[in-house]
Structure 1
């Protein structure tokens, strides 16, 4: 089966949504499918803006726009950089999958059968400055075969009176080597968190809270990672564009606690990855965390305010027995969400057309 993923133009920057698509692409390729990834320039066909972007990508910023160095895609995956909307519309074979609100119209206008037009929805993307809620909702109503990654997105689809099938996110256990993990009890007072410039992630608020915690725990080690980092003096270690080895052994694998201050998450993949690495997770009640964690059992889920963040972190630092309880249950939860399980369901949906749940 030919499978065509349609993504916005790549900037060769690690992003969770792209990573999930790439993981599926590798899995489908390993299963013998003909996988194509199209990175689309958001410009009108035959326009000067399109021509300028292509020239820049091909000759001046090739490593930015025509390369993927942060994730290893299988060699037999066909990657199409800097394509125009006409290229996508001309696809005539296989399943065509929009992965962002800006690519949904292209898939709608493509020349494959209606049953082969899909929309992979990883969040309600109204945070995008180029869109508003009305525009996002319109794409959900295009009549594409909507696939969502979480229950709250499925509920959102129901509110809009559009069908959507749920295929939950996952962890690709093969990516991480956890054979030599330090037990949580031996990790000291170490907390990691994702630094992100998107205000919904609330990274600045999270760091502010961690600085307050550090006053009570002077030896607190704060680890940050992300496509960008804060470079704040209070941070002990910063990892920009961390590779899988760093994530596993230097970030998650060293963390007694993983802190997710984000206010809204489509899924919250970093929390699940941290659980897999035996870190106790504390998260704001952001929607995504509830897709895999239960408050007080596999994670500490708190209200979205600084007081709750501070008190929750202090509880996990002081009550190590409770922390170990969360760690044990978190590991069990993380092992339930596998790439093979979600990948096989995705393939079945693509092969059999849309299945309404």
Structure 2
């Protein structure tokens, strides 16, 4: 089977890594897979001014021209733009982000059955334009119940087939003994999207620190740390080995997202035996169990998160139970099973 994926041209993210994981697994299963990326940037409709939008489009195009080799992977095919002349005929062509959905929709039937692999409710650029992408007549696949709920509540659509992300526990597992001294170690992802709830997470830590003055907060992420207090120990763009070390050394992982399509980092933390104190969004609706494999509060409920942190820190039996169950939950996420389900869905539409 010939499968085309259409991805944004450059950049790194958990969602992009997910697509490449499927590319690798489909290729190992004998599929002929090609990843297409357009050099000519899409108009993201990010600003009210058309002039600003065009300038942004020119900037992104130039950035792709100069940086594409930095992000190129073996299966990549960079083309000037996504169109019938540049994309090969195939059995399946899959959009992977809202701008690519419009590109895939415009392709001819010779490019195969058209799919939209939805990893988040991506309305932070231009909500109205993004919502139109979800309404395109493409076969949709989502990665969580939360996304299905968003599409149903906001657009009256779905539900659509769900394919959970897998997790590579050969990489993400407990590598060092948890610290037993009085210092309590917290860990949190840094991200500048408002939906990630980072200010709430920082507030949670500051409130807990009043009761546990020896508590320390470490954070990591792709962006710089200009949005963080000076006393936060920060690791910018750390290696996977370093991230696993951070997970393994932390007692509590704060997951304060207001909205989340899935949530890769808290699940990675769970695989490393870290107690996740998080919100009911993303994967939590599908896999989270309060006081069983994590501590859960509603999105935006800072007081609830503080109470959950203090409860688990004051109860060593509860903490050990959650650590054990969290590892078991993570071990149940298998990339091969996820790829098999994705392939089954593709075949259903073809047959």
Cα deviation, residue 297, structure 1: 1.1
Q: Matches of residues 63-78 of structure 1 in structure 2 within 5 Å?
A: 65-68=68-71, 77-78=74-75
User: Does 1:20 pair with 2:23?
Assistant: no
Q: 1:49 to 1:240 in 2, by over 3 A?
A: closer
Q: What is aligned with 1:215?
A: 210
- Which of the numbers 324, 330, 337 marks the counterpart of 2:326? 330
Q: Matches of residues 272-351 of structure 1 in structure 2 within 5 Å?
A: 272-303=267-298, 304-351=300-347
Partner of 2:170, secondary structure, is helix
CA distance in 2, matches of 1:224, 1:50: 32
Q: 1:32 to 1:305 in 2, by over 3 A?
A: same
User: Does 1:141 pair with 2:139?
Assistant: no
Q: What is aligned with 2:200?
A: 205
Cα deviation, residue 172, structure 1: 2.0
TM-score by length of 2: 0.85
Cα deviation, residue 188, structure 1: 4.8
More displaced 10-residue stretch of structure 1: 289-298 or 135-144 = 135-144
Q: Point out where structure 1 has 5 or more consecutive residues left out of the alignment.
A: none
Q: 1:204 to 1:55 in 2, by over 3 A?
A: closer
Q: What is aligned with 2:41?
A: 42
Q: Per-residue displacement from partner, 1:265-294 (whole Å, max 9, x unpaired)?
A: 111121111111101111022243222111
Q: Point out where structure 2 has 5 or more consecutive residues left out of the alignment.
A: 44-53
CA distance in 2, matches of 1:223, 1:88: 49
Equivalences, count: 335
- Which of the numbers 67, 80, 94 marks the counterpart of 2:77? 80
CA distance in 1, matches of 2:33, 2:111: 19
Q: Per-residue displacement from partner, 1:219-246 (whole Å, max 9, x unpaired)?
A: 21211011124353221x3121122111
Q: Conserved in 2, the CA contact under 8 Å of 1:191 and 1:257?
A: yes
Q: What is aligned with 1:117?
A: 114
Q: What is aligned with 1:189?
A: 184
TM-score by length of 1: 0.84
Q: Conserved in 2, the CA contact under 8 Å of 1:191 and 1:256?
A: yes
Cα deviation, residue 149, structure 1: 0.4
Q: Conserved in 2, the CA contact under 8 Å of 1:187 and 1:255?
A: no
CA distance in 2, matches of 1:107, 1:254: 44
Q: Per-residue displacement from partner, 1:13-40 (whole Å, max 9, x unpaired)?
A: 3x12112112112222222322222223
Partner of 1:86, secondary structure, is coil
Cα deviation, residue 116, structure 1: 1.7
